Amino acid sequence: MSEGRVSVEIKNGIGTVSFFHPKKNSLPGNVLRELRNAIAEAGNNDDARVIILASQGDGPFCAGASFDELLSIKNFEQGKEFFMGFARVILAMVQCPKFIVARVQGKTVGGGVGLVAAADYALALKSASLKLSELAVGIGPFVIGPAVERKIGKGPFQSMTIDTEWRSAEWAQSHALYSQTFESINELDSAIRDLAQSLSKSNPEAMKKLKSIFTEDAKNWSGVLEKRAEMSGKLVLSEFTSSYIQSFKNK
């Protein structure tokens, strides 16, 4: 569970926050903590005028919560703290005074969808499908829910939550999760580079004020997300969730 890493690089006005975990870029607690700190660090660094959020490798963008860590949770306090990790990342993203551009090179599940939704702009490969799988696991997308619902609307969020099926990148673009989609990784990276360079030359104060307008409805999320983390912290202790995750790992 201690595997994984987060890095920050700032160059020519562009801050790149990237994360990696050998298990499909899943997010255990240590990676969530580092990710939150990295986003805050880049947001407070005047040398970074725009932030790119990326994961490493050519596989999934993010597999969501670490199943190994979910299985290790033994009590409510541990459960709440784990899901507060997601809450703190979401809050760091919406409170960051810089635009955050997500680079989505692969499939995205659960908490990873929350990262995409909390970004201000997301560019993705056309093969980058996504889904909210939490209900199948026995919990729900409680903590990431406000970010996803704000981006796509209540109806589509309810559908994603209830049927837990894959949505295509085309669907994600039509529902504003993705701003643009591309056929190849070269096209994706070229578009990311061009956008980031353009934004790095824009007025920082204007972008900061725009970001505050974009996230105005998120000002009360701190208490909301903590309550949502408590919901997840209780449900993750259920026999249903434990049995599902163990059977999935045994496949």
> pLDDT digit string (tens) for 145-198?
999 999 999 999 999 999 999 999 999 999 999 999 999 999 999 999 999 999
224-233 average pLDDT score: 97
Helices in the chain by DSSP H: which ranges?
Answer: 29-44, 67-72, 76-95, 111-118, 134-137, 145-152, 154-163, 169-174, 185-200, 204-214, 221-235, 239-249
- Boundaries of domain holding 145: 5-200
Instruction: Give the chain's mean pLDDT.
Output: 96
138 in a domain, yes or no? yes
Nearest alpha-carbon partner for 124 in 53, 224, 65: 53
Residue 77 maps to a domain: yes
Q: What's the pLDDT at 119?
A: 98
Residue 246: the pLDDT is 81
Whether 149 maps to a domain, the answer reads: yes
Counting Cα atoms < 13 Å in the Cβ hemisphere of 150 gives 21
* Residue-level length of the chain: 251
Q: Is pLDDT at 1 greater than 60 in this prediction? A: no
CATH of the domain at 91: 3.90.226.10
Domain count along the chain: 1
Convert the pLDDT of each residue in 107-146 to its tens digit: 999 999 999 999 999 999 999 999 999 999 999 999 999 9
What is the spatial distance between Cα 48 and Cα 198, in angstroms, rounded to a whole number? 13
246 belongs to a structural domain: no
245 part of a folded domain: no
- Tell me if 85 is assigned to some domain: yes
> For residue 244, what pLDDT is reported?
86
106 within 8 A of 127, measured Cβ to Cβ: yes
Amino acid at 238: S
Among 90, 84, 136, CA closest to 109:
136
pLDDT bin (cut points 50, 70, 90) of residue 2 is low
pTM score, two decimals? 0.96
Q: Tell me the per-residue pLDDT of 14-51, one tens digit each, with 9 for 90 and over.
A: 999 999 999 999 999 999 999 999 999 999 999 999 99
CB 6 within 8 A of CB 18: yes
Answer yes or no: is 118 within a domain.
Answer: yes
How far apart CA 115 and CA 199 sit, in angstroms, is 20
Residue 41 in any domain: the answer is: yes
Closest CA to 191 of 100, 122, 129: 122
- In 3D space, the residue among 135, 127, 134, 167 whose CA is nearest the CA of residue 151 turns out to be 167
